[in-house]
């Protein structure tokens, strides 16, 4: 939907506070009445933008084909896709926007969490549960917790530092090392 794409550009470039319904209408066309009718106003439009953009970004994880792959290779593919998603400039800007407005508009934070981070966890849980059912992974372990742990190994502290603007996004050349180390740690633990 064109209005969501253009509104996303405005919100991500200028922040929620500096974007008006008038500026969205000027960019997209149509009328303020249509925005209020379809979204209930600027806040509702922001919520729709967050849901739409999260779904676009998460699609990389949702569309992974992992059947038949050895577990380490499947985890590598998940890791590569996950890092590609969380370090996408649009995703970084969206995450910052949600953090900035989440306390004021909790439903936006919930929408982001459900469609972004929890959507990623859900994709990994599905993989883990399928491999547990095949006996390839320990079925006594909590798949949800394992998914959070694996994604945490990938994200490290680097993601928070990127969101805060303290560090640059890890380069594409550095990402295979991050993924390989996360896979090794996840599959073998930190023990000897």
Angle of helix 21-28 relative to helix 2-14, nearest 10 degrees, comes to: 130
In which residue are the tokens 């009445």 written? Answer: 33
- For the chain, the straight-line distance linking the first and the last C-alpha, in angstroms and rounded, comes to 53
**Per-residue model confidence as pLDDT tens digits over 69-89:** 999 999 999 999 999 999 999
Query: Quick one: which H or E segment has residue 172?
Result: none
DSSP state at residue 135: T
pLDDT confidence of residue 191: 57
Of 57, 115, 113, 48, residue with least CA distance to 81 = 57
Of 42, 38, 45, residue with least CA distance to 20 = 42
Query: Distance of alpha carbon 72 from its chain centroid, rounded?
Result: 22
pLDDT confidence of residue 175: 95
* pLDDT tens sequence for the chain (192 residues): 789 999 999 999 999 999 999 999 999 888 899 999 999 999 999 999 999 999 998 899 989 999 999 999 999 999 999 999 999 999 999 999 999 999 999 999 999 999 999 999 999 999 999 999 999 999 999 999 999 999 999 998 899 999 999 999 999 999 999 999 999 999 997 654
In the chain the domains, ranked by start, together with CATH numbers, are 53-188 (1.10.357.10)
Is there a contact between 94 and 12 (Cβ–Cβ < 8 Å)? yes
């Amino acid at each position: 939907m064109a209005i969501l794409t253009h509104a996303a550009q405005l919100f991500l470039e200028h922040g929620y506070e500096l974007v008006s319904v008038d500026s969205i209408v000027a960019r997209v066309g149509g009328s303020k009445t249509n925005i209020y009718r379809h979204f209930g106003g600027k806040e509702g439009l922001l919520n729709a933008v967050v849901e739409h953009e999260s779904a676009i970004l998460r699609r990389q994880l949702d569309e992974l084909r992992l059947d038949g792959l050895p577990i380490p290779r499947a985890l590598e593919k998940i890791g590569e896709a996950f890092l590609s998603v969380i370090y996408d400039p649009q995703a970084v800007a969206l995450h910052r926007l949600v953090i900035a407005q989440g306390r004021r508009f909790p439903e936006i934070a919930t929408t982001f969490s459900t469609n972004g981070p929890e959507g990623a966890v859900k994709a990994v849980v599905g993989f883990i549960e399928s491999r547990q059912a095949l006996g390839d992974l320990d079925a006594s372990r909590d798949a949800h917790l394992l998914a959070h742990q694996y994604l945490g190994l990938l994200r490290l502290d680097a993601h928070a530092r990127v969101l805060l603007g303290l560090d640059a996004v890890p380069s594409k050349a550095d990402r295979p090392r991050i993924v390989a180390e996360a896979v090794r740690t996840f599959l073998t633990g930190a023990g000897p």
